[in-house]
Structure 1
Amino acid sequence: MLHERRAILERKAAIRPHHDRNRPRPHPRGNWMRLLGQVLKLAGGHGDLLRHDERPWASVTFSGARHTLALAFAGADAIAAAERVIAELADHEFDIPGHIVADAQVREVSHQHVPTAQLTMEIEILLLEDL
């Protein structure tokens, strides 16, 4: 799946006019809320945002941002939903207009059992501007 996305991005970069490649592009803000919404939808509405971090990302042909989401899931149903996110995130098809998710990974998971069962996870998503 990731290789298919990369091939699509490379084809789009190849047809982008040369004079546009060096022009700085404005960095759109606010897409993290759409990312969060789609991750929470994947989790069946379970999960609470603990923190979000966004760092600009660019290569010779692409620009975008790397997003880090820390989420907490409390209770048996929420933990089961979090486990679905862990299993399905890498292949999930995000729908962010004008953007492509080039990479989505669960970077860290921790479990807590006392005083209540809770799972926390850190997700990293590379969101690129669609050329």
Structure 2
Amino acid sequence: MTSVHHGFGIKNLVRNKPIGKSHRDPLPRLLEQLLQRAGAPTVIERAVSRPWASALFEGRRHIVTLRLSGARAATRFRAFAEGIDSAEWQVPGHFVADITIDDSRQEADEWWVELSALTIEDW
């Protein structure tokens, strides 16, 4: 029987590690702030996020659907929508480069709001 010694130990093996600095997903923090801005009762009906990159930047593209309900839903929706594109968002490790309301509709005492946002890693 023949044995082979490769000349390297376990400490010399390459380990899978993230490359560069890795930030947590900004979506949970963004959702928290959107809920605060919308007021209660508000429900997140849908929230998806996917990677985004340009030649110079990396980030994530988010699509969120909220349902504002209650007797004051219309008033809360107007306050939510007013100035949303220029609002200050606190997202550690990222900044909100763009946020827009793509669609909104009223159903009885509820307002449905679909918005999209782009967060960029803050280097």
How many corresponding residue pairs?
105
Structure 2 counterpart of 1:127 = 119
* Aligned residue identity for 1:61: L
Distance 1:81 1:62, change over 3 A: same
1:101 aligns with 2:93: no
8 Å contact from structure 2 (residues 40, 68) kept in 1? no
**Structural RMSD (CA):** 1.7
Distance in 1 (alpha carbons) for counterparts of 2:86 and 2:47: 21
Superposed structure 1 runs of 4+ greater than 3 Å apart: 24-30
* Structure 1 residue aligned with 2:79: 84
SS in 2 for 1:68: strand
* Alpha-carbon distance in 2 for matches of 1:48, 1:88: 21
Q: Is the 8 A contact 1:47 1:73 kept in 2?
A: yes
Q: Equivalent pairs: percent with the same residue?
A: 31
2:28 match: secondary structure: helix
The answer to whether residue 32 in structure 2 is matched with residue 37 in structure 1 is: yes
How far did 1:121 drift? 0.6
- State how far apart, in whole Å, the 2-side matches of 1:92 and 1:78 are: 20
1:88 Cα offset (Å): 2.2
CA contact (8 A) 1:54 1:66 kept: yes
Are positions 1:69 and 2:61 aligned together? Answer: no
How far does the alpha carbon of each residue in 1:77-118 deviate from its partner, in whole angstroms, 9 at most, with x for none? 2332122111121111000111110001000001112xxx11
Distance 1:57 1:32 in 2: 13
The residue aligned with 1:55 is 50
Q: Check whether the contact 1:46–1:81 (CA below 8 A) recurs between aligned residues.
A: no
Question: Aligned partners of 1:45, 1:34: CA distance in 2, in Å?
Answer: 17
Residue segments in structure 1 that go unaligned for 5+ positions in a row? 1-23
Identify unmatched segments of 5+ residues in structure 2.
1-18
